[in-house]
Structure 1
C-alpha cells in the first residue's frame, strides 16, 4: 500500500515544515523593472498560500533562467509568459544589478542569484494566459505603482530597495561595464 501524498501549501492539513526540512534548491533568475511612459512600475502581488493568514508581497516580473538560455532570452520569455508583452532584446536595459537572495517559503527555500534588467513600455493590461499553474494560484493581482506610492506604502515589496534600483535605471554609466554587485539578502514569507 503506497503512502499518501502530503498536502500542498493552501490545502487542508498542510503544516509548515522547519527550514531544515523544506526542499532547498539554487537557481539563477532574472527580474525585470517594467516601467511605463509615466515612470510607473509594474508589480505583482504574490502570495504564500501555505500560511494562515496567507502572506502577500509585491514583486517584479521575472523568474528562473532555463537551461540553454542567456539572461536576455530569459527576460524576453518571462515578460511574454507573465505579462503577454513581446519585447525585443534590444529594448531591454541592463544588466543593472546582480545579487544573492534567499527566499524562504512555507514549502521550500530558494537560494537565488538574481539579475535585474529594465524595460520601458507603453501602458498595458497584463495578459495572464501564459502563467504557470503556480503563478495562477499565487499571483493575486497586478498593479502599476508611482514612485510616490512606492515610497509611501507599508506593503512588503521585493526587492526592498526597489527605489534605489529605479534610480539606477537612470544612471547607465554606473552599470555600463556590467551589473553592479548587490548585497546578499533574505526576502522570505517564512524567515529562516
Structure 2
C-alpha cells in the first residue's frame, strides 16, 4: 500500500475547566473501529498548518477564529494511520484555543465528516488517562497538563 504524506493542523479547544473538545469518529473501511480525536485536518493547497487548523475548527465545530488567534504551535508530531483504504503519514502541528464554553455546530462538516464523526465530548486529562477508548494523540493527557501550566511540549 502506498503511503500518502500530508501536513495537518489540529486544535486543542479548551474550555474554562481545562477540558479539551474531542470528536468521536471511525473509518468507513473498518466498521466498528472508533476513536476520539482533536478537531483539525489536512492542508488545502496554499494553506499553512495554522490556517488549516482554523478552517477545520470552523468546519467541525462551528467555531470561527482567525489563524493568528491560535498563536504558535504547542506541539508537533508525525503519525501514521489508515483511513478509508488509504495509508497516511501525517506531519501535524497542534494549536491551542481557549473558550469559556462552546456549543458544537456540525453544519460545516463535509460529507465524509458527516458520515464518520458521530459525537463530541469535553474531556479532562484524568478522563483521557483512565478511558479504555482510543484517544489520539496518545500523549494528549500529558500535553493538556503541560499546556495548563504554560509549558510547550
- TM-score, normalization by structure 1: 0.73
Q: Deviations over 1:129-188 (max 9, x none)?
A: 11011100000101111222212211000111101111232354x54xxxx6xxxxxxxx
- TM-score, normalization by structure 2: 0.90
Task: Name the counterpart of 1:107.
Answer: 85
Task: Name the counterpart of 1:119.
Answer: 97
Task: Name the counterpart of 1:29.
Answer: 8
Q: Return the alpha-carbon distance in structure 1 between the equivalents of residues 138 and 47 of structure 2.
A: 27
Structure 1 runs not aligned, ≥5 long: 1-19, 181-192
Q: Return the alpha-carbon distance in structure 1 between the equivalents of residues 62 and 84 of structure 2.
A: 29
Superposed CA RMSD: 1.7
Q: Return the alpha-carbon distance in structure 2 between the equivalents of residues 75 and 137 of structure 1.
A: 21
Match of 1:46 among 21, 25, 32: 25
Structure 2 runs not aligned, ≥5 long: none
Q: How many residues align?
A: 153
Identify if the C-alpha distance between structure 1 residues 169 and 69 changes in structure 2 by more than 3 Å, giving closer, same or farther.
same
Task: Name the counterpart of 1:12.
Answer: none
Match of 1:150 among 128, 136, 140: 128
Q: Return the alpha-carbon distance in structure 2 between the equivalents of residues 49 and 71 of structure 1.
A: 26
**Whose Rg is larger?**
1
